[in-house]
């Protein structure tokens, strides 16, 4: 059932930020009060940064030379910039989650700022609020900043309880609206419909190292979302699993994915949620692209692969995940996980 297309390309050091063939990868790293750079003592062995939409949250892994005394500790701030020569761009902000001391190295694991939403549990009822306003409030409770929070669907009542952490509620609301969720490099959360990112071109034979595409067409071709009528909330004799009027939204034709969401109270919202689920299922092709290091490409941007003969890989690729890796032997590379409609 899975079709794959795979291509290997030549690795060079030329990218859309115009590092020449002879520029060298560079970094700037701060952990707590300590700062590391290529010009300082060669204490950094490798840096790996993983950023995604949704789960898992952003993370970073740094290996430092062992046998030295470092002053940072769990909870300290971590900031990473990557690039070429003096052209460095921010790629990660977070906090130290763990420090492992080995014989010849010290491993520092950091988590992105969304971890504060993962750790937040509270009980709250929102009345007549949009999904975006609910998310904004949860983000503020976690002491984060909102860069963009589109309204999305309107919910007559939405219950947040301690049974789920705040990030689970944010992801659920994003799924209902077919929105993207991620934290930007400037430490702010985005909750919005896809689009608005920058377009980038990656050239085969110059920047492309490897590309692999996989077909993951869904089993379902349509979606039905059942809500709960407001009438089921009134009166002590009400049977809460029954409603006076069916609240149902449908989108698409064919094999049906049926979902029940008690937060949806009217037919229009149910139809919007069903369409959002169908739109999400239309992303049927996943592509992993490995290139020379490209810190300028962000989550939500699009990539076009230039010079490939395989038409299956010729569409616009929506960037959903990024992995930067820099070490002394392999240099600086980036892997992008993308969707294609």
Q: Which residue has the tokens 């700037």?
A: 28
pLDDT of residue 10: 42
DSSP string, 299-326: TT-EEEEES-S-GGG-SPEEEEEEEEEE
117-193 and 218-230+246-277 agree in CATH topology: no
Cα–Cα dist 183/178, whole Å? 17
Predicted confidence at residue 17, as pLDDT, reads 47
Structure tokens at 173: 């609301």
332 three-state secondary structure: strand
Cα 137 to the center of its chain, rounded Å: 20
| CATH number of this structure's domain 117-193 | 3.55.50.10
Look at residue 239 in the predicted model and tell me its pLDDT: 46
Render pLDDT for 195-249 as a digit per residue (tens, 0 to 9): 888 999 999 888 999 999 888 777 777 777 877 766 544 443 444 444 456 787 7
- CA–CA gap between residue 80 and residue 88 (Å, rounded): 9
Eight-class DSSP state of 232 = G
For residue 268, what pLDDT band results from cuts at 50, 70 and 90?
confident
CA angle 204, 207, 210 (to 5 degrees): 70
**Domain covering 218-230+246-277 in this structure, CATH number:** 3.30.1920
List, for residues 11-62, the tens digit of each pLDDT value: 433 344 444 466 789 999 999 999 998 887 668 999 999 999 988 899 999 9
**Where in the chain are the domains?**
117-193, 218-230+246-277
Q: What is the mean pLDDT of residues 115-124?
A: 95
Query: What does the mean pLDDT of the chain come to?
Result: 84
pLDDT-derived band of residue 141, with 50, 70 and 90 as boundaries? very high
Lowest mean pLDDT among 106-115, 120-129, 243-252, 323-332: 243-252
């Amino acid at each position: 059932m899975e079709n794959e297309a795979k291509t290997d390309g030549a690795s060079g050091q030329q990218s859309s930020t115009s590092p020449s063939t002879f520029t060298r990868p560079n970094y700037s790293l701060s952990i707590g009060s300590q700062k590391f750079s290529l010009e300082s003592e060669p204490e950094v062995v490798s840096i790996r940064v993983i950023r995604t939409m949704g789960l898992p949250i952003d993370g970073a892994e740094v290996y430092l030379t062992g046998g030295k005394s470092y002053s940072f500790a769990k909870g300290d701030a971590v900031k990473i910039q990557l690039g070429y020569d003096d052209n460095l761009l921010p790629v990660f902000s977070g906090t130290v989650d763990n420090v492992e001391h080995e014989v010849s190295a010290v491993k520092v694991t950091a988590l992105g700022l969304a971890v504060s939403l993962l750790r937040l549990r509270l009980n709250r009822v929102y009345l007549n609020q949009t999904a975006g306003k609910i998310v904004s409030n949860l983000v503020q409770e976690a002491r984060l900043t909102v860069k963009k929070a589109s309204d999305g669907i309107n919910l007559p009542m939405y219950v947040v309880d301690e049974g789920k952490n705040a990030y689970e509620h944010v992801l659920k609301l994003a799924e209902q609206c077919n929105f993207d969720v991620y934290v930007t490099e400037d430490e702010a959360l985005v909750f919005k419909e896809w689009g608005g990112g920058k377009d980038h071109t990656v050239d085969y034979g110059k920047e492309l190292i490897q590309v692999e595409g996989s077909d993951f067409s869904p089993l379902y071709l349509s979606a039905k979302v059942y809500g709960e009528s407001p009438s089921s909330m009134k009166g002590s004799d009400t049977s809460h699993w029954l409603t006076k009027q069916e609240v149902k939204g449908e989108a698409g034709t064919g094999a049906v994915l049926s979902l029940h969401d008690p937060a949806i109270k009217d037919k229009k919202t149910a139809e919007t949620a069903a369409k959002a689920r169908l739109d999400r299922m239309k992303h049927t092709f996943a592509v992993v692209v490995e290139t020379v290091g490209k810190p300028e490409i962000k989550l939500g941007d699009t990539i076009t692969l230039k010079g490939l003969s395989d038409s299956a890989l010729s569409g616009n690729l929506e960037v959903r995940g990024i992995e930067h890796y820099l070490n002394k032997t392999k240099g600086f590379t980036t892997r992008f996980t993308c969707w294609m409609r």
